[in-house]
């Protein structure tokens, strides 16, 4: 189907630290693409460059053929790129429902205030907006906790709501930064199923950062491996598992097969 995202020679520097060093890869439309690598390898930095939080020092990022490297994060969201954060970015005192609605308000043309009045142009938008939020609540099985303040939920559920906040934006490309971190194995399996369904049912392209390599190998169509900001491997799960540079970078990690 062709690439949805083309990353060419992206570099990012913080003082003396090269967080990303000439990284290139393509992400195909509709695939599950994973970014792996040891702590500090540059995985979150890469997502920050794609979502627009960080400005790379060089390179090109094209989304559906369009250069987005200088575009503001908000404009990237309206193009269809949404992102769930490694550190949960929710309002703890607000309910699950309100957190999901608030995420979408940033997309409303009529603005958050007029959107609340149910008049004129805003009413159609408001209906669309609620429909999407309800769809996500059902999809991620959040019905029982829709009115619960996010801050009172167990960590695993908060992570799920964080994914829901990104999903409620109706993205074509979703960036998931360690959505399973801190989860037990039952919760991880459930999240893996949600990710597969995002890909198969919702036809969203998924970029996943995950440290559990068993899950990465099972879910991914392609994997890119970063180490000290450099791309040291790219390929299918089978290719990655045989790549000597990748094996070397992961020496000492018992989970690597």
Residues that bind ligand ATP (CB under 6 A): 14, 17, 19, 37, 39-45, 86
Could you tell me the strand order of the sheet in which 58-63 lies? 17-28, 3-14, 58-63, 66-67
Residue 23 or 96 with smaller CB distance to Mg ion:
23
Beta carbon of residue 36, minimum distance to Mg ion (angstroms, whole number) = 11
Beta carbon of residue 214, minimum distance to Mg ion (angstroms, whole number) = 19
Residue 45 has a CB neighbour count (10 Å cut-off) of: 23
Beta carbon of residue 177, minimum distance to Mg ion (angstroms, whole number) = 6
CA–CA dist 60, 26 (Å, integer): 12
Beta carbon of residue 45, minimum distance to ligand ATP (angstroms, whole number) = 3
237 Cβ contact list (under 8 Å, min separation 6): 216, 217, 218, 220, 223
Tokens of residue 69, six digits:
């490297």
- Residue 45 interacting partner from Mg ion, ligand ATP, none (CB closer than 5 to 8 Å by kind): ligand ATP
- Residue 176 interacting partner from ligand ATP, Mg ion, none (CB closer than 5 to 8 Å by kind): none
Contact between 103 and 157 (Cβ < 8 Å): no
Chain positions 212 to 241 lying near Mg ion, rule: CB under 5 A, are none
Q: Which of 35, 41, 44, 163 binds Mg ion (CB under 5 A)?
A: 44
Give the interface with Mg ion as residue ranges (CB under 5 A). Answer: 43-44, 86
């Amino acid at each position: 189907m062709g690439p949805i995202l083309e990353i060419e020679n992206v570099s990012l520097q913080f003082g003396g630290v090269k967080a990303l060093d000439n990284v290139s890869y393509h992400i195909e439309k509709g695939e599950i693409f994973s970014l792996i690598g040891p702590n500090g390898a540059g995985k979150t930095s890469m997502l920050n460059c794609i979502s627009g939080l960080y400005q790379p020092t060089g390179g090109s990022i094209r989304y559906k053929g369009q250069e987005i490297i200088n575009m503001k994060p908000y404009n990237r969201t309206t193009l269809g790129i949404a992102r769930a954060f490694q550190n949960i970015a929710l309002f703890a005192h607000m309910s699950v429902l309100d957190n999901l609605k608030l995420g979408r308000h940033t997309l409303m043309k009529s603005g958050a205030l007029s959107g609340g009045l149910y008049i004129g142009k805003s009413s159609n938008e408001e209906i669309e907006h609620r429909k999407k939020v309800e769809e996500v609540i059902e999809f991620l099985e959040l019905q029982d906790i829709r009115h619960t303040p996010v801050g009172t939920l167990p960590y695993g559920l908060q992570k799920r709501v964080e994914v829901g906040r990104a999903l409620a934006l109706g993205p074509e490309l979703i960036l998931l930064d360690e959505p399973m971190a801190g989860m037990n194995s039952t919760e991880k399996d459930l999240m893996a199923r949600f990710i597969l369904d995002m890909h198969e049912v919702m036809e969203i392209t998924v970029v996943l950062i995950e440290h559990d390599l068993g899950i990465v190998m099972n879910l991914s169509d392609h994997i890119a491996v970063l180490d000290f900001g450099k791309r040291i491997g790219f390929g299918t799960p089978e290719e990655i598992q045989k790549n000597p540079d990748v094996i070397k970078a992961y020496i000492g990690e018992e989970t690597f097969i």
